[in-house]
Structure 1
Amino acid sequence: MDENKKSTKNRRYIDSFKYAFIGITTVFREERNMRTHVTLGLTAILLSLFCNLTTIEWLWMLLCVFLVFVMEIWNTVIENVVDLVVDHHFHPIAKKAKDMAAAAVLLTSLFSLIVGGTILLPKIFSWFV
Protein backbone atom coordinates (compact mmCIF):
# COMPACT_ATOMS: atom_id res chain seq x y z
CA MET A 1 0.00 0.00 0.00
CA ASP A 2 1.50 3.36 -0.96
CA GLU A 3 1.83 6.26 1.49
CA ASN A 4 -0.86 8.43 -0.13
CA LYS A 5 -3.52 5.77 0.12
CA LYS A 6 -2.85 5.25 3.85
CA SER A 7 -3.80 8.81 4.71
CA THR A 8 -6.97 9.10 2.64
CA LYS A 9 -10.51 7.98 3.30
CA ASN A 10 -11.66 4.66 1.92
CA ARG A 11 -12.36 5.17 -1.75
CA ARG A 12 -14.86 2.34 -1.92
CA TYR A 13 -17.69 1.60 0.51
CA ILE A 14 -16.70 -2.07 0.65
CA ASP A 15 -13.25 -1.06 1.94
CA SER A 16 -14.88 0.19 5.14
CA PHE A 17 -16.25 -3.29 5.79
CA LYS A 18 -12.96 -4.91 4.84
CA TYR A 19 -11.01 -2.82 7.33
CA ALA A 20 -13.64 -3.36 10.03
CA PHE A 21 -13.33 -7.13 9.60
CA ILE A 22 -9.54 -6.79 9.74
CA GLY A 23 -10.00 -4.95 13.05
CA ILE A 24 -12.23 -7.73 14.41
CA THR A 25 -9.80 -10.46 13.39
CA THR A 26 -6.87 -8.49 14.81
CA VAL A 27 -8.44 -8.03 18.24
CA PHE A 28 -9.56 -11.67 18.29
CA ARG A 29 -6.10 -12.91 17.30
CA GLU A 30 -4.10 -10.60 19.60
CA GLU A 31 -6.25 -10.31 22.72
CA ARG A 32 -6.77 -13.35 24.95
CA ASN A 33 -9.60 -11.58 26.79
CA MET A 34 -11.48 -11.08 23.52
CA ARG A 35 -11.25 -14.79 22.77
CA THR A 36 -12.60 -15.47 26.28
CA HIS A 37 -15.47 -13.02 25.77
CA VAL A 38 -16.34 -14.58 22.41
CA THR A 39 -16.30 -18.08 23.92
CA LEU A 40 -18.53 -17.03 26.84
CA GLY A 41 -20.82 -15.00 24.57
CA LEU A 42 -21.31 -17.89 22.16
CA THR A 43 -21.93 -20.20 25.12
CA ALA A 44 -24.62 -17.83 26.42
CA ILE A 45 -26.24 -17.66 22.98
CA LEU A 46 -26.14 -21.46 22.56
CA LEU A 47 -27.63 -21.93 26.03
CA SER A 48 -30.32 -19.40 25.17
CA LEU A 49 -31.34 -21.51 22.18
CA PHE A 50 -32.55 -24.18 24.62
CA CYS A 51 -34.34 -21.79 26.97
CA ASN A 52 -37.31 -20.65 24.85
CA LEU A 53 -36.53 -16.95 25.25
CA THR A 54 -39.01 -14.23 24.39
CA THR A 55 -38.07 -11.63 21.80
CA ILE A 56 -37.26 -9.10 24.54
CA GLU A 57 -35.09 -11.63 26.37
CA TRP A 58 -33.21 -12.40 23.14
CA LEU A 59 -32.64 -8.70 22.57
CA TRP A 60 -31.25 -8.26 26.10
CA MET A 61 -28.97 -11.30 25.72
CA LEU A 62 -27.66 -10.15 22.34
CA LEU A 63 -27.22 -6.58 23.59
CA CYS A 64 -25.13 -7.80 26.50
CA VAL A 65 -22.99 -10.14 24.42
CA PHE A 66 -22.25 -7.53 21.76
CA LEU A 67 -21.77 -4.75 24.32
CA VAL A 68 -19.00 -6.78 25.99
CA PHE A 69 -17.40 -7.34 22.57
CA VAL A 70 -17.52 -3.62 21.79
CA MET A 71 -16.12 -2.65 25.18
CA GLU A 72 -13.25 -5.10 24.79
CA ILE A 73 -12.47 -3.61 21.38
CA TRP A 74 -12.51 -0.09 22.85
CA ASN A 75 -10.30 -1.25 25.71
CA THR A 76 -7.81 -2.60 23.18
CA VAL A 77 -7.94 0.63 21.16
CA ILE A 78 -7.26 2.71 24.28
CA GLU A 79 -4.40 0.44 25.35
CA ASN A 80 -2.81 0.64 21.90
CA VAL A 81 -3.15 4.42 21.62
CA VAL A 82 -1.77 4.94 25.12
CA ASP A 83 1.18 2.65 24.37
CA LEU A 84 1.80 4.56 21.15
CA VAL A 85 1.74 7.92 22.92
CA VAL A 86 4.04 6.91 25.78
CA ASP A 87 6.18 4.71 23.52
CA HIS A 88 5.66 1.73 25.86
CA HIS A 89 7.22 3.59 28.80
CA PHE A 90 5.50 3.76 32.15
CA HIS A 91 3.56 6.91 32.92
CA PRO A 92 1.08 7.17 35.81
CA ILE A 93 -1.58 8.88 33.67
CA ALA A 94 -1.19 6.23 30.97
CA LYS A 95 -1.69 3.56 33.64
CA LYS A 96 -4.84 5.33 34.87
CA ALA A 97 -6.29 5.49 31.35
CA LYS A 98 -5.60 1.80 30.73
CA ASP A 99 -6.99 0.80 34.14
CA MET A 100 -10.18 2.80 33.54
CA ALA A 101 -10.65 1.21 30.11
CA ALA A 102 -10.28 -2.23 31.71
CA ALA A 103 -12.78 -1.20 34.40
CA ALA A 104 -15.33 -0.35 31.70
CA VAL A 105 -15.00 -3.89 30.32
CA LEU A 106 -15.31 -5.36 33.80
CA LEU A 107 -18.46 -3.37 34.61
CA THR A 108 -20.03 -4.26 31.28
CA SER A 109 -19.21 -7.92 31.87
CA LEU A 110 -20.74 -7.81 35.35
CA PHE A 111 -23.88 -6.14 33.97
CA SER A 112 -24.08 -8.84 31.31
CA LEU A 113 -23.67 -11.56 33.91
CA ILE A 114 -26.54 -10.07 35.94
CA VAL A 115 -28.81 -9.79 32.90
CA GLY A 116 -27.91 -13.26 31.64
CA GLY A 117 -28.39 -14.77 35.08
CA THR A 118 -31.73 -13.04 35.54
CA ILE A 119 -32.97 -14.35 32.20
CA LEU A 120 -31.40 -17.81 32.06
CA LEU A 121 -31.20 -19.11 35.63
CA PRO A 122 -34.98 -19.36 36.26
CA LYS A 123 -35.40 -21.17 32.93
CA ILE A 124 -32.54 -23.57 33.69
CA PHE A 125 -33.84 -24.23 37.22
CA SER A 126 -37.26 -25.07 35.76
CA TRP A 127 -35.67 -27.96 33.86
CA PHE A 128 -34.90 -29.65 37.18
CA VAL A 129 -38.15 -28.95 39.01
Structure 2
Amino acid sequence: MKKVIRSFGYAFKGISYAYATQLNFRIHIGATVTAVALGLLLGVNAGEWLWISLTITLVIITEMLNTAIELLTDLASPEYNTKAGHVKDISAGCVVIAAVFAVITGAIIFLPKLYLLATHAA
Protein backbone atom coordinates (compact mmCIF):
# COMPACT_ATOMS: atom_id res chain seq x y z
CA MET A 1 0.00 0.00 0.00
CA LYS A 2 2.92 2.35 0.70
CA LYS A 3 4.10 1.92 -2.91
CA VAL A 4 0.69 2.92 -4.23
CA ILE A 5 0.54 5.99 -2.03
CA ARG A 6 4.11 6.90 -2.99
CA SER A 7 3.29 6.53 -6.70
CA PHE A 8 0.41 8.99 -6.33
CA GLY A 9 2.84 11.35 -4.64
CA TYR A 10 5.16 11.13 -7.65
CA ALA A 11 2.23 11.75 -9.99
CA PHE A 12 1.16 14.86 -8.11
CA LYS A 13 4.78 15.99 -8.03
CA GLY A 14 4.79 15.74 -11.84
CA ILE A 15 1.58 17.76 -12.11
CA SER A 16 3.03 20.38 -9.76
CA TYR A 17 6.22 20.53 -11.83
CA ALA A 18 4.24 21.04 -15.03
CA TYR A 19 2.16 23.79 -13.42
CA ALA A 20 5.20 25.54 -11.93
CA THR A 21 7.38 25.45 -15.04
CA GLN A 22 5.12 25.42 -18.09
CA LEU A 23 3.26 28.57 -19.09
CA ASN A 24 1.12 26.67 -21.60
CA PHE A 25 0.06 24.22 -18.89
CA ARG A 26 -1.12 27.14 -16.75
CA ILE A 27 -2.97 28.58 -19.75
CA HIS A 28 -4.72 25.23 -20.25
CA ILE A 29 -5.66 25.16 -16.56
CA GLY A 30 -7.12 28.66 -16.96
CA ALA A 31 -9.12 27.48 -19.96
CA THR A 32 -10.29 24.50 -17.91
CA VAL A 33 -11.54 26.76 -15.11
CA THR A 34 -13.29 28.96 -17.69
CA ALA A 35 -14.96 25.99 -19.39
CA VAL A 36 -16.15 24.51 -16.10
CA ALA A 37 -17.48 27.89 -14.93
CA LEU A 38 -19.30 28.42 -18.25
CA GLY A 39 -20.71 24.91 -18.05
CA LEU A 40 -22.05 25.54 -14.58
CA LEU A 41 -23.46 28.96 -15.48
CA LEU A 42 -25.08 27.78 -18.71
CA GLY A 43 -26.42 24.49 -17.32
CA VAL A 44 -24.85 22.07 -19.76
CA ASN A 45 -26.32 18.58 -19.75
CA ALA A 46 -24.60 15.30 -18.87
CA GLY A 47 -23.65 14.47 -22.46
CA GLU A 48 -22.10 17.91 -22.92
CA TRP A 49 -20.18 17.51 -19.65
CA LEU A 50 -18.75 14.28 -21.00
CA TRP A 51 -17.44 16.07 -24.11
CA ILE A 52 -16.09 18.95 -22.03
CA SER A 53 -14.39 16.51 -19.66
CA LEU A 54 -12.93 14.55 -22.57
CA THR A 55 -11.45 17.61 -24.21
CA ILE A 56 -10.05 18.97 -20.94
CA THR A 57 -8.44 15.62 -20.17
CA LEU A 58 -7.07 15.26 -23.69
CA VAL A 59 -5.46 18.71 -23.66
CA ILE A 60 -3.96 18.33 -20.16
CA ILE A 61 -2.57 14.87 -20.96
CA THR A 62 -1.05 15.96 -24.26
CA GLU A 63 0.47 19.06 -22.64
CA MET A 64 2.06 16.95 -19.91
CA LEU A 65 3.32 14.37 -22.42
CA ASN A 66 4.73 17.22 -24.49
CA THR A 67 6.57 18.51 -21.42
CA ALA A 68 7.94 15.04 -20.67
CA ILE A 69 9.06 14.53 -24.26
CA GLU A 70 10.75 17.93 -24.35
CA LEU A 71 12.60 17.24 -21.08
CA LEU A 72 13.71 13.82 -22.26
CA THR A 73 14.79 15.20 -25.63
CA ASP A 74 16.84 17.93 -23.92
CA LEU A 75 18.45 15.30 -21.70
CA ALA A 76 19.29 13.00 -24.62
CA SER A 77 20.40 15.77 -26.95
CA PRO A 78 21.66 18.82 -25.02
CA GLU A 79 23.19 20.36 -28.14
CA TYR A 80 21.08 21.40 -31.09
CA ASN A 81 20.02 18.45 -33.22
CA THR A 82 17.64 18.67 -36.16
CA LYS A 83 15.91 15.38 -35.32
CA ALA A 84 15.54 16.39 -31.66
CA GLY A 85 13.90 19.58 -32.89
CA HIS A 86 11.50 17.58 -35.04
CA VAL A 87 10.59 15.42 -32.04
CA LYS A 88 9.78 18.51 -29.99
CA ASP A 89 7.83 20.10 -32.84
CA ILE A 90 5.74 16.98 -33.40
CA SER A 91 5.04 16.73 -29.69
CA ALA A 92 3.92 20.38 -29.60
CA GLY A 93 1.78 19.71 -32.67
CA CYS A 94 -0.09 17.04 -30.75
CA VAL A 95 -1.02 19.63 -28.14
CA VAL A 96 -2.23 22.02 -30.84
CA ILE A 97 -4.45 19.32 -32.35
CA ALA A 98 -5.95 18.54 -28.94
CA ALA A 99 -6.46 22.24 -28.20
CA VAL A 100 -8.18 22.87 -31.55
CA PHE A 101 -10.47 19.90 -30.86
CA ALA A 102 -11.26 21.43 -27.46
CA VAL A 103 -12.04 24.85 -28.98
CA ILE A 104 -14.32 23.31 -31.61
CA THR A 105 -16.07 21.20 -28.97
CA GLY A 106 -16.47 24.24 -26.73
CA ALA A 107 -17.87 26.28 -29.61
CA ILE A 108 -20.42 23.58 -30.46
CA ILE A 109 -21.55 23.37 -26.83
CA PHE A 110 -21.28 26.97 -25.63
CA LEU A 111 -22.01 29.22 -28.62
CA PRO A 112 -25.68 28.23 -29.05
CA LYS A 113 -26.27 28.69 -25.31
CA LEU A 114 -24.50 32.06 -25.28
CA TYR A 115 -26.42 33.15 -28.38
CA LEU A 116 -29.72 32.19 -26.76
CA LEU A 117 -28.74 34.02 -23.59
CA ALA A 118 -27.74 37.13 -25.55
CA THR A 119 -30.89 37.20 -27.70
CA HIS A 120 -33.23 36.67 -24.74
CA ALA A 121 -31.43 39.26 -22.63
CA ALA A 122 -31.80 41.92 -25.32
TM-score bin (small chain): over 0.9
Which blocks of at least 5 consecutive residues in structure 1 are unaligned?
1-9
Which blocks of at least 5 consecutive residues in structure 2 are unaligned?
none
Question: Over residues 11-58 of structure 1, what are the superposed CA-to-partner deviations in whole Å (9 max), with x where a residue is unaligned?
Answer: 621001000000000000000110001001111111110111111100
Are residue 99 (structure 1) and residue 76 (structure 2) matched? no
Are residue 118 (structure 1) and residue 108 (structure 2) matched? yes
- Rounded to whole Å, the distance in 2 between the matches of 1:53 and 1:16 is 35
The structure richer in helix per residue is 2
| 1:46 counterpart (37, 43, 60) | 37
Give the corresponding residue for 2:73: 82
Q: CA RMSD in A?
A: 1.2
The alignment of Structure 1 onto Structure 2 pairs a total of residues equal to 119
- Does the residue aligned with 1:44 lie in a helix, a strand or coil? helix
% of aligned pairs identical? 34
- Rounded to whole Å, the distance in 1 between the matches of 2:118 and 2:7 is 48
- Rounded to whole Å, the distance in 2 between the matches of 1:79 and 1:11 is 31
For 2:7, the aligned partner's letter is S
